[in-house]
């Protein structure tokens, strides 16, 4: 129990309870009356796992949250001028080095070359494909989406490994 004798104060009570069920309200009212009649500014009572703290604030002041401490900000770092790290040809997409047109992923998902694990791939490099032939599968949200060739031609390159994730509009297969 904490007791403190304050200077004369205006009656402004703060009531804080701890515990799951709270104390008997009659006991709490009695504590408030005792606080009003005395010069005690704060009282805390604990019964088992429950406790109550009643305090009187001087001059009608109320509790105010304290502002968060302000930390000094560091000056922004000066960045060195960017130096080209690779030739522009490397910055382009992998399909740029091939003669044909890429079949791009229509969605984010997982690239599969065959309809099932261990099954024959839809296409191999050098295969001839017709417009509408299935060239791969992109799995998205447990749905297997068959991706078709958008033109006739020969498969020049397969740019993604089986089971790898693909992004929207990522080149997957080049058809020349």
**According to the model, what pLDDT value does residue 114 have?**
94
Q: Are residues 55 and 122 in the same domain?
A: no
- How many domains is the chain built from? 2
The Cα–Cα gap between 4 and 171 comes to 76
The Cα–Cα gap between 100 and 122 comes to 19
The Cα–Cα gap between 171 and 151 comes to 15
Q: Are residues 53 and 101 in the same domain?
A: no
CATH value at residue 123: 2.40.50.100
Q: Are residues 168 and 105 in the same domain?
A: yes
Mean pLDDT value across the chain: 76
Domain that holds residue 158: 97-175
For 63-105, write each residue's pLDDT tens digit: 556 666 666 666 666 666 565 554 444 444 555 577 889 999 9
What's this model's pTM, rounded to 2 decimal places? 0.47
SS3 56: strand
**Tens-digit pLDDT string for the chain (176 aa):** 444 444 444 444 445 555 555 567 787 788 778 777 877 777 777 777 777 777 776 555 555 566 666 666 666 666 665 655 544 444 445 555 778 899 999 999 999 999 998 999 999 999 999 999 999 999 999 899 999 999 999 999 999 999 999 999 999 999 99
């Amino acid at each position: 129990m904490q007791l403190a004798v304050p200077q004369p104060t205006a009656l402004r009570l703060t009531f804080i309870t701890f515990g799951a069920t709270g104390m008997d309200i009659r006991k709490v009212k009695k504590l408030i009356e005792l606080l009003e009649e005395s010069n005690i500014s704060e009282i805390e009572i604990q019964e088992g796992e429950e406790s109550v703290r009643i305090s009187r604030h001087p001059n009608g002041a109320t509790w105010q949250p304290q502002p968060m401490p302000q930390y000094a900000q560091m000056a922004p770092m000066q960045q060195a001028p960017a130096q080209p790290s690779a030739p522009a040809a490397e910055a382009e997409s992998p399909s740029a080095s091939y003669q044909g047109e890429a079949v791009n992923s229509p969605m984010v998902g997982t690239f599969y070359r065959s309809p099932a694990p261990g099954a024959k791939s839809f296409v191999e490099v050098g295969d001839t494909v017709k417009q509408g032939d299935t060239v791969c599968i992109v799995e998205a949200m447990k749905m297997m989406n068959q991706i078709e060739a958008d033109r006739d031609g020969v498969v020049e390159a397969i740019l993604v490994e089986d089971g790898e994730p693909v992004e929207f509009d990522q080149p997957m297969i080049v058809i020349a």
